[in-house]
């Protein structure tokens, strides 16, 4: 049967800008911390916090596929999707699929934990920032706990990011579409009429 290939707009400009600014910001935050330029690190940190706050708002008021409720799936649907991946015939989703959605929520939560622990570290170790009032309310031990928590959350992110990329690559192969390019152009292909699109 003849297939007609159309393009459908999935990722709006704010989501794409958010994603690639986040990637760049994450790299810059990491490098600035490693080389010890704290002023730059904190500035980039504030920028990333702004990005995350924006993305959370956009998850409620943005366009169809950027809204959180478009990618909240039940545990049953998620398990069915994972089983279908293993069987080699997962359903196609225009927005995040159930496995991708889990990773997205995990990454967003982890970023929130990195930012919160970074802000507390800034207050209790470097005596700066909006949470400075915490400085004389915590012991040295607690201060270093937050400092280590910040490091720990970054390490977890360094494990999750390769898994995120693995998901993007395997999803691209299984559905014969370039998901990374879609995050640049915003478009996905809609194959009609006989593919199982959702
Ligand atoms: C994705 C974002 C971030 C990444 C990847 C990141 C990464 C890191 C890393 C790897 C260190 C440890 C450096 C070392 O052990 O030598 C560090 C330290 C630190 N980060 Fe972050 N960070 C991020 C966001 C933030 C934010 C949002 C803030 C606060 C606004 C912040 C404040 C700090 C502070 C105060 C330190 C401790 C510096 C010191 O020892 O005095 N970070 N960060
Ligand atoms: C060059 C490296 C990267 C590529 C190629 C990439 C690619 C992608 C793609 C294709 C999606 C959409 C997945 C889908 O179709 O369901 C996505 C979503 C996402 N990625 Fe990445 N990613 C990269 C790095 C990162 C990094 C470093 C982070 C976190 C620090 C990250 C966080 C996210 C988040 C939070 C989303 C959800 C976007 C949203 O709905 O707002 N990505 N990524």
Q: Is the CB of 73 under 6 A from ligand 2?
A: no
Cα separations in angstroms, 94 against 8, 11, 127, 190: 9, 9, 46, 9
- Indicate the CATH number of 4-192 among 1.10.10.10, 1.10.569.10, 1.10.3720.10, 1.20.950.20: 1.20.950.20
Q: Is the CB of 160 under 6 A from ligand 2?
A: no
Phi, psi (rounded to 5 degrees) for 6: -115, 165
Tell me the best of 150, 156, 161 to mutate to test the pocket of ligand 1, counting ligand atoms within 8 Å of each CB and taking the most: 150
Tell me the best of 18, 23, 25, 41 to mutate to test the pocket of ligand 1, counting ligand atoms within 8 Å of each CB and taking the most: 41
| Average pLDDT of the residues in 119-138 | 97
**CA separation for the pair 175, 61 (Å, rounded):** 29
pLDDT of residue 193 exceeding 80: no
Instruction: Give the number of other Cβ atoms within 10 Å of residue 78's Cβ.
Output: 15
Q: Taking Cα atoms as reference points, which of 21, 3, 47 lies closest to residue 193?
A: 3
pLDDT at 3: 57
Q: Is the peptide bond before 82 cis (omega within 30 degrees of 0)?
A: no
CA-nearest residue for atom 42, ligand 1, is: 118
pLDDT at 189: 86
Q: Is the CB of 55 under 6 A from ligand 2?
A: yes
| Average pLDDT of the residues in 150-175 | 97
Instruction: Give the number of other Cβ atoms within 10 Å of residue 126's Cβ.
Output: 13
CA-nearest residue for atom 18, ligand 1, is: 33
Tell me the best of 46, 121, 161 to mutate to test the pocket of ligand 1, counting ligand atoms within 8 Å of each CB and taking the most: 121
pLDDT range class, residue 194, cuts 50, 70, 90: very low
pLDDT at 190: 82
pLDDT range class, residue 100, cuts 50, 70, 90: very high
Q: Taking Cα atoms as reference points, which of 107, 130, 109, 108 lies closest to residue 120?
A: 130
CA of 95, closest atom in ligand 2: 16
pLDDT range class, residue 181, cuts 50, 70, 90: very high
**CA separation for the pair 154, 118 (Å, rounded):** 10
Contacts of residue 186, Cβ cutoff 8 Å, sequence gap at least 6: 9, 10, 11, 12, 13, 16
């Amino acid at each position: 049967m003849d297939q007609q290939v159309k393009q459908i707009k999935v990722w709006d400009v704010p989501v794409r800008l958010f994603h690639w600014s986040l990637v760049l910001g994450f790299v810059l935050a990491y490098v600035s911390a490693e080389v010890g330029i704290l002023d730059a690190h904190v500035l980039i940190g504030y920028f990333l916090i702004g990005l995350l706050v924006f993305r959370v708002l956009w998850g409620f008021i943005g366009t169809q596929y950027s809204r959180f409720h478009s990618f909240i799936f039940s545990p049953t649907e998620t398990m069915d999707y994972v089983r279908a991946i293993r069987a080699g015939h997962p359903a196609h989703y225009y927005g995040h699929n159930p496995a991708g959605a889990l990773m997205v929520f995990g990454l967003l939560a982890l970023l929130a934990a990195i930012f919160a622990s970074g802000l507390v570290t800034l207050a209790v170790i470097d005596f700066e920032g909006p949470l400075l009032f915490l400085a004389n309310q915590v012991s040295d031990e607690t201060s270093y706990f937050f400092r280590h928590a910040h490091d720990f959350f970054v390490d977890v992110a360094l494990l999750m990011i390769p898994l995120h990329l693995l998901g993007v690559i395997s999803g691209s192969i299984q559905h014969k579409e370039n998901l990374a390019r879609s995050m640049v152009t915003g478009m996905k292909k809609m194959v009609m009429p006989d593919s199982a699109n959702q």
